[in-house]
Amino acid sequence: MNFAWIKKIFASPARYATFAAVACILLMTPTLPGQSQTTSSTKSNAVTNSVLTPPPLLLGTAWYPEQWPESRWNADLDLMQKAGIRFVRIGEFAWSSLEPAEGDYHLGWLERAIDDAGRHGIYSVVGTPTAAPPAWLTQKYPETLRMEENGRKAEHGNRQQFNWDDPKYRELAHDIAGRMAQRYGHNPYVIGWQIDNEYAAVSFDPRTRADFQSWLQHRYGTLDNLNTRWTTAYWSQTYSNWDQVPIETSRGNPGLLLSWKRFVSDTWRSYQKNQLDAIRQYASPRQFITTNMMGWFQGYNHYVVARDLDLASWDDYIGEGHLNAYVNGSTDDLTRGFKQKNFWVMETQPGHVNWAPDNNDLNKGEVRAMAWHNVGHGADAVSYWQWRSALNGQEQYHGTLVGPDGTPVPLYTEVAQIGREFTKAGPTLAGTSPKSQVAILHTYGSVWAIDWQRHNKAYDPIVELLSYYQPLRDISQSIDIVQPTVPLDQYKLVVAPGLNVLSNEAANNLIQYVKNGGHLVLGQRSGMKNDDNGLQPERQPGPLVSLLGGRVEQYYALIDPAPIHGQFGDNTSKLWAELLSTSSPDTQVLATYGKSNGWLDGKPAIITRKIGKGSITYVGVWMDEAGMAKLAQWMTNMSGVTPAFGPVPAGVEVDPRYGKDHTVFILVNLANGTQTVPLPRSMQDVLHGGSVQSVNLPRYGVAVLSEAKK
């Protein structure tokens, strides 16, 4: 669509009055409020208040205008506009362009870029540039450089060389974030902020160690308390002074390891809040604040860091290979669980990346399928990294939408199709979000604890979670991934694979859930540790033993699979087996071990107990896919979980999103061939129009279907 006529309208003295007249027909672009030539900090309240809500479904890209001549900007923005791109993420690596020398601020160019984008119908998410400090900063203030675990200082020339705990760096970060918020915090084209970029690298310098020791003192109060809870009498680890406590990341006392990770998480949160407060001091409340997280990345507790944000977002990269509906879908669901509401995909790959062992391109149509797959799981925005190939730098080979010559690459047309479809489907998806009958419980403490002491080198706690997620998702067609401390009564079924570290708060929440009629299934290795990563004084599952009417007598890391017989047919347990016992007459044995290592032979492998209208089940085995499918069918049958949509052919994923008066079903075909999907009832085809009773989906085909609530 050509927007030249709109630009002329808004260049005229009568632009404010004209806007009201044309707004009703401006369906393909965001609201374009009147714009004066003054800086954002002096814009009138009337202009700011004239901004309407951005489109409900946004397509975006990362744009780096500082890397290109200003004379090129409009050509890039024209191409974005034609592709239906509705927002750019901008500025997050531009500190040396925004402040080329200390106190010498050059903020005008970024405002011009934001305003130019806005005149093309494109909003901006402004990134604070603190992931890439300029050379003058780290040279003048060397204490701001982080220290590697081996004692070596990071140097300029890459990114994330800063020390996230250093007071001087925080002072400088607060300053640049605040100045940007003063300048752009009321710009009508700015809809949000991203703080920093992909938190990851931490520092091991002496000051950070001292701050960690202070954090421990605040948490534990006294050394006697710490020594008791960490059982430091083991190996004479007992501490008599706080400054004796070291930093350990892999082989230290389990209580020390977990405490360090918690300190890292709290420090990232305070690092983030330092900038968040600077932005909030000046920015309009309508501008959201987020940061781009990295899915299953285990560097910090994402629930803690997300607590102060307005929305969660993540960077969705496949790297080598192709779209796996369960891996990608579970990561979307994980991110949605950080705030228990819809999220954004702030970065995703346009075809290929540059950092995988083999940087293959996604197949034709796969990028579109991936975008709609994200939306089905609760994404309200999908943004591609990046717009145009940088001429130099570490990521020259990364996929883009436009080549270094400024002309579109082949994928551009597919992304333009996504843009048209997002615009068309946006109004129907507005106000909708996923809602699930099934929750899978996840804690970072449990994942860390198992990873530090796998006991079987192949035991991956995320793979364990996915072994439950995949068959349950196939049946229920929607799953939430949440912490065990959130309210759970909305769920018919709650599954906790590997809930290794079980706090008293979480245990009490689970007990109440079952007593209120919920159905709880504990997976292997659950309830082994307390909140300090110490062994529970009871056997597994610790504080849930009396509710279960049974316990784990012993656990075994397996070299050879152990056979299993019972409710789920004949199967084997791979990697891990737990010998269970029952202590209550109403605890039922669902499966037993066959002849194995002698200890397991004939012993219970899966037990369950009814508690009023609820139940608690313990699964001590890790079965193969066939066994897990049967277990999932049993779990959903006994808890009354029903599919959100109904049966679909293998390879077709159904993603429901619910609104006040209607439900939207997004169907994505990831099977190799064309699939015909009969609908359970007549629905509206959002992308093509009309009422349909079945849809034909080619490979990577997408259908967006809507029905009114009865």
CATH number at residue 492: 3.40.50.880
pLDDT value at position 169? 97
Q: How many domains is the chain built from? A: 4
Q: Does 216 lie in the same domain as 173?
A: no
Label residue 355 by pLDDT band (50, 70, 90): confident
3-state secondary structure of 577: strand
Q: Does 360 lie in the same domain as 295?
A: yes
What's the rounded Cα separation, in Å, for the pair 555 and 392?
Answer: 54
Q: Does 386 lie in the same domain as 307?
A: yes
Does residue 23 carry a pLDDT above 70?
no
Q: Does 528 lie in the same domain as 574?
A: yes
Element at 303 (helix H, strand E)? helix 302-306
What's the rounded Cα separation, in Å, for the pair 414 and 473?
Answer: 28
What's the rounded Cα separation, in Å, for the pair 706 and 125?
Answer: 30
What's the rounded Cα separation, in Å, for the pair 117 and 137?
Answer: 30
702-708 and 662-669: which strand pairing? antiparallel
The one catalytic residue among 66, 92, 99, 198: 198
What's the rounded Cα separation, in Å, for the pair 420 and 504?
Answer: 50
CATH number at residue 350: 3.20.20.80
Q: Does 296 lie in the same domain as 235?
A: no
Residue 646 lies in a domain: no
pLDDT value at position 6? 30
Residue 32 lies in a domain: no
For the four alpha carbons of 261, 262, 266 and 269, in that order, the dihedral sign comes to positive
- For the range 151-158, what are the long-range contacts, defined as Cβ-Cβ under 8 Å and sequence gap of 24 or more? 151/204, 154/201, 158/394
Asked whether the beta carbons of 626 and 571 are under 8 A apart, the reply is: yes
3-state secondary structure of 578: strand
Give the bridge partners for 147, in sequence order.
Answer: 153
Residue 46 lies in a domain: no
Residue 468 lies in a domain: yes
CA torsion, points 37, 39, 44, 46, in degrees to nearest 10?
70
Produce one character per residue of 678-693: b if its CB has 16 or more CB atoms within 10 Å, e if not. ebeeebbebeeeeebe
Does residue 602 carry a pLDDT above 80?
yes
pLDDT in tens, 189-218: 999 999 999 999 999 999 999 999 999 999
What's the rounded Cα separation, in Å, for the pair 478 and 619?
Answer: 22
pLDDT value at position 528? 97
Show the DSSP H helices in 42-107 as ranges: 45-49, 73-82, 95-98
What's the rounded Cα separation, in Å, for the pair 216 and 256?
Answer: 9
What's the rounded Cα separation, in Å, for the pair 293 and 305?
Answer: 10
Residue 518 lies in a domain: yes
Q: Does 656 lie in the same domain as 631?
A: no
Label residue 52 by pLDDT band (50, 70, 90): low
Does residue 26 carry a pLDDT above 60?
no
What's the rounded Cα separation, in Å, for the pair 379 and 555?
Answer: 40
Q: Which class for 665: exposed (0-12), middle (13-18), buried (19 or more C-beta within 10 A)?
A: buried
Q: Pick the last residue of a domain from 380, 397, 429.
A: 429
pLDDT in tens, 678-709: 999 999 999 999 999 999 999 999 999 999 98
Contacts (Cβ under 8 Å, ≥6 apart) of 106 = 97, 98, 99, 100
Q: Does 422 lie in the same domain as 312?
A: yes
Tokens representing residue 651 in the block: 């390879």
Residue 12 lies in a domain: no
CB atoms < 10 A from the CB of 266, how many?
A: 17
Q: Does 585 lie in the same domain as 618?
A: yes
Does residue 674 carry a pLDDT above 70?
yes
Element at 690 (helix H, strand E)? none
Q: Does 619 lie in the same domain as 673?
A: no
Question: 3-state secondary structure string, 122-165?
Answer: CEEEEECCCCCCCHHHHHHCHHHECECCCCCECCCCCCCCECCC
Give the range of the structural domain holding residue 234, as residue numbers without chain letter. Answer: 206-246
Q: Does 182 lie in the same domain as 216?
A: no
Q: Pick the last residue of a domain from 412, 429, 446.
A: 429
Mean pLDDT of all residues belonging to the chain: 92
The one catalytic residue among 66, 92, 111, 347: 347
The three-point CA angle 7-8-9 to 5° equals 90
| Residue 347 annotated among the catalytic residues of the structure | yes
Tokens representing residue 20 in the block: 């009201």
Q: Which of 20 and 451 is assigned the larger pLDDT?
A: 451
| Residue 99 annotated among the catalytic residues of the structure | no
Does residue 409 carry a pLDDT above 50?
yes
Which of 555, 548, 457, 547 lies closest to 500, judged by CA? Answer: 555
Residue 13 lies in a domain: no
Residue 137 lies in a domain: yes
Residue percentage of the chain with pLDDT more than 70? 93
Q: Which class for 236: exposed (0-12), middle (13-18), buried (19 or more C-beta within 10 A)?
A: exposed
pLDDT value at position 21? 33
Tokens representing residue 14 in the block: 């009568």
Q: Does 328 lie in the same domain as 235?
A: no
Label residue 184 by pLDDT band (50, 70, 90): very high
pLDDT value at position 11? 35
Does residue 220 carry a pLDDT above 80?
yes
Element at 494 (helix H, strand E)? strand 493-496
Mean pLDDT of 513-525: 98
604-611 and 614-619: which strand pairing? antiparallel
Does residue 392 carry a pLDDT above 90?
no
CATH number at residue 690: 2.60.40.1180
Q: Does 525 lie in the same domain as 480?
A: yes
pLDDT value at position 174? 98
